Amino acid sequence: MTKILVTGATGNIGRLTLDRLLNRAPANDLVGLAREPAKAADLAAKGIEIRQGDYFDDEGLVRAFKGIDKVMMVSATAFTDRNTQHENVINAAWQAGVQHIVYMPIIHKAGSAFRLPQVTEEDRFVEDRLKSSGLIYTLVRHPPFLETIETYAGGHPLETGVRAPAGSGKAAYASREDLAEAHAVVLSEDGHAYGDYALYGGPAVSFADIARILTEISGKPVPFRAVSEQDYVAQLVSLGLPEPAAGFMLKWVEGVNAGEWDGETGDLEKLLGRKPKTPTEFLRASHAARQLETESLRRG
């Protein structure tokens, strides 16, 4: 019996990873870590034990990790002293006798000069700590999430056109669901010790490609308009994003335009045993869901 703990159980990726693990391991071998366990009541109802823990509370983490064999460390939120939090998790895992940590850095292209603030260096820090920790580790590197593709494209690209800073770089976005399923495979199977996977989705698309896909899906012309960096941030702020978050999105877009996430390894497809969700499939489903919503609002 291997006891697997997933942190961030109340968030998107952690919750989805536990959900996909339920298809591959008995519920009583699974544990979720949450700052507020009540927020994970749905997972507890499925038989998953929820333990309380905060990345900033090192002693609490050691208690939460007792009896655990493998930990999936969901990366800490940017701009919240990620190094301290990640280091606490790694140290607590070691102290509690955990054998194996799985971590999800953002893909950094070899030789690339691009640095995502609060992410690239902090992920490197985790990798260094894991390598010197004595723990078994596996790296499941993430591209940008498909779920964010419309925000990168300016917010409501179907209505306003794709509006992003000029560039023709492409990114191989992947959906959170596919990434979580890949995590579940790595956590529940043998043979992934010291594995280093780059979970590109694909096919990689540029902002002009997104406009073309939206045009095909909607049957109406969706143009790509290059906007200045200032206007890009302003349009995201006008949609309700706090200015620092909009500025952070701009950095991701710079990475897309620099080709930082344009790659292909086949790792995600191999782990899933099927093709990952494509941008066209994602955008088509998202368009259909919005049409349904509009229709039901119209009908009252």
Ligand X SMILES: NC(=O)c1ccc[n+]([C@@H]2O[C@H](COP(=O)([O-])OP(=O)(O)OC[C@H]3O[C@@H](n4cnc5c(N)ncnc54)[C@H](OP(=O)(O)O)[C@@H]3O)[C@@H](O)[C@H]2O)c1
Footprint of ligand X (CB under 6 A): 7-8, 10-14, 35-36, 39, 54-56, 74-77, 85, 106, 142, 144-145, 148
Judged by CB, which is closer to ligand X: 218, or 254?
254
Q: What six digits make up the tokens of 191?
A: 């043979």
Judged by CB, which is closer to ligand X: 59, or 216?
59
Element (H, E) at 219: none
CA–CA distance, 225 with 156 (Å, rounded to integer)? 13
Q: What six digits make up the tokens of 117?
A: 């603030």
Q: What six digits make up the tokens of 193?
A: 């010790």
The position carrying tokens 């049409």 is: 291
What is the nearest approach in angstroms of ligand X to the Cβ of residue 10?
3
What is the nearest approach in angstroms of ligand X to the Cβ of residue 80?
6
For 67, the 3-state DSSP assignment is coil
What is the nearest approach in angstroms of ligand X to the Cβ of residue 295?
29
Report angle CA 145, 135, 196 to the nearest 5 degrees.
40
Q: Outline where DSSP puts E strands in the chain.
A: 4-6, 30-34, 49-52, 70-73, 100-103, 136-141, 162-164, 196-198, 224-226
What is the nearest approach in angstroms of ligand X to the Cβ of residue 248?
9
What is the nearest approach in angstroms of ligand X to the Cβ of residue 63?
14
Q: Could you tell me if 243 and 212 are in contact, meaning their C-beta atoms sit under 8 angstroms apart?
A: no
Q: How many CB atoms lie within 10 A of CB 284?
A: 16
Residue whose CB is nearest to ligand X in the complex, by number: 11
